Structure 1
Amino acid sequence: MKIRIKGNTVRYRLTRTEVKIFCETGHFEEKTQFRDKTFIYELRTKAGLEHLDANFKENTITLYLPEKERERWGDSEQVGFQHTIVSASGAELSLLLEKDFTCLDETIEDQSDNYPNPLANK
């Protein structure tokens, strides 16, 4: 799973295997170990939600997907989900969760488990 943070935008991208594990278990996480702390970013399902939601607590970013979406996302053509939440101070946080497609340009990154890019055959 990849995470991209730019300003008030958080974006998660998952490979085919990661989507499969998430859809089966309702949870997927990655960890980055620093000298004295571990940064965790995770995806979880949550009942009762209508849209993506997020939280940051104890060095962990948790992105929540509504339970009803998890049940069908892996086998569907739907690329992902997007939602903007507003903090108590009025700041907007844009959330994006999507399947990771292979890049169209050259990259040294292993993309063998990525979804085929729909633009590759155009």
Structure 2
Amino acid sequence: MKIRLKGNTIRYRLDKTDVALLETTGKVTSVTQIGAGALHFCIRAKEIADPVIKMEPDGIHLLLPLPQLTAWYLPDQVGFELTLPNADGSELKILVEKDFQCLTTRDEDDSQSFENPMAGKNC
């Protein structure tokens, strides 16, 4: 799982392995070791009506309704966007997307990424 933080936006990009794990177990995590500690991000499928995000001392937990995820697992679904209120009145924008293969060569393993629909097309 790739996570990008920018301002009040969190973008999650899940590859094929992440999506399969979330679909079969209801949970996918990403952990980054920082010194003696670890920072973790977790997405869980839950029997809830609305999405919830929780800030924990060592990470962020995103809880998503099962029906929303079930629709997203379909091959033609790329991603979805959420806007959740913060306690201070601001909003947190969350993007959850399938991770596509890069169109240009990069020093990154994207073997588990989804095939890019733009591959082979002139842009």
Identify whether the pair has TM-score above 0.5, normalized to the shorter chain.
yes
Give RMSD over aligned pairs: 1.4
In the other structure, the counterpart of 2:91 is: 92
Q: Distance in 2 between matches of 1:114 and 1:49?
A: 29
Q: Distance in 2 between matches of 1:71 and 1:78?
A: 10
TM-score by length of 2: 0.90
Q: Does 1:14 align with 2:14?
A: yes
Q: Distance in 2 between matches of 1:3 and 1:116?
A: 19
In the other structure, the counterpart of 1:68 is: 67
Q: Distance in 1 between matches of 2:48 and 2:63?
A: 11
* Paired-residue identity, %: 40
Q: Distance in 1 between matches of 2:62 and 2:54?
A: 7
Q: Which is worse superposed, 52-61 or 110-119?
A: 52-61
Question: CA offset at residue 77 of structure 1?
Answer: 1.2
Deviations for 1:50-82, whole angstroms, at most 9, x for unmatched residues? Answer: 4x4321112111122211123343233111111
Q: Distance in 2 between matches of 1:73 and 1:80?
A: 7
Q: Does 1:23 align with 2:23?
A: yes
Deviations for 1:56-111, whole angstroms, at most 9, x for unmatched residues? Answer: 11211112221112334323311111111111211111001110001112211001
Q: Distance in 1 between matches of 2:120 and 2:63?
A: 33
Q: Distance in 1 between matches of 2:71 and 2:20?
A: 11
In the other structure, the counterpart of 1:36 is: 36
Letter of the 1:74 counterpart: Y
Question: Structure 1 regions of 5+ residues with no counterpart?
Answer: none
In the other structure, the counterpart of 1:57 is: 56
Report the number of matched residues.
Answer: 121
Question: Structure 2 regions of 5+ residues with no counterpart?
Answer: none
